[in-house]
Amino acid sequence: MATGIERHPFEPFLPPGAKVLFLGSFPPQRKRWSVEFYYPNYINDFWRILGIVFFDDRDRFTDTAAKRFKLAEIKEFCAERGIALFDTATVVRRLKDNASDKFLEVVEPTDIPALLRRIPDCVAVAVTGEKAADTLRGTFGVVSPAVGEYSSFAFEGRPMRLYRMPSTSRAYPLPVNKKADVYRRLFKELGLSV
């Protein structure tokens, strides 16, 4: 049974000097949040992957006792590293009472060009799921790359890359360390890793 229309609960996180814009599909339902920020579900591995990539510590951004992410540290880290965050949908309808992208109807896609205009140093967009990749492919008319690869495109004369990353959901059948290897390559290629 479809639920009501949901508008995106967060403002885009677009730090000055951002080099990469990560786009998921849409946040899960509030009942699944451990923090009020992107990738809020404690069982989602996005923040663990970044902990592995940059600190060789999967729990760098987790408060394991409280089963929450360390929001202040995450925001500071992303701002320092030039990582912007939002999602490819601004308004959705959930077709089932769960967090699966498969049951998300995009009512209003995000105006990605408007986001990119706000972060003029951005050179790459990285999508973290198939639905996000499909939405973005339509926006820019770019060929969807294989998982872990990128396609080149131009945005208002700016050379850009579209990276298709493995989903950080635990439903995606790849161990977290293997996902981290793919993310590490992206950050290395963009000159954002140590």
- Whole domain around residue 27: which residue ranges? 5-189
Confidence of residue 142 (pLDDT cuts 50, 70, 90): confident
List pLDDT tens digits, range 76-94.
999 999 999 999 989 988 8
Between 101 and 152, residue with greater pLDDT: 152
Residue 185 within any structural domain of the chain = yes
Confidence of residue 182 (pLDDT cuts 50, 70, 90): very high
CATH of the domain at 103: 3.40.470.10
Please give the tally of structural domains in the chain: 1
Tens digits of residue pLDDT in 98-136: 656 677 788 899 999 999 999 999 999 999 877 777 777
Q: Specify if 194 maps to a domain.
A: no
- Tens-place pLDDT, residues 12-51: 999 999 999 999 988 988 888 999 999 999 999 999 999 9
SS (H, E, C) the chain: CCCCEEECCCCCECCCCCCEEEEECCCCCHHHECCCCCCCECCCCHHHHHHHHHHCCCCCCEECCCCEECHHHHHHHHHHHCEEEEECEEEEEECCCCCCHHHEEEEEECCHHHHHHHCCCCCEEEECCHHHHHHHHHHHCCCCCCCCCEEEEEECCEEEEEEECCCCCCCCCCCHHHHHHHHHHHHHHCCCCC
In-domain check, residue 49: yes
In a domain, 139, yes or no: yes
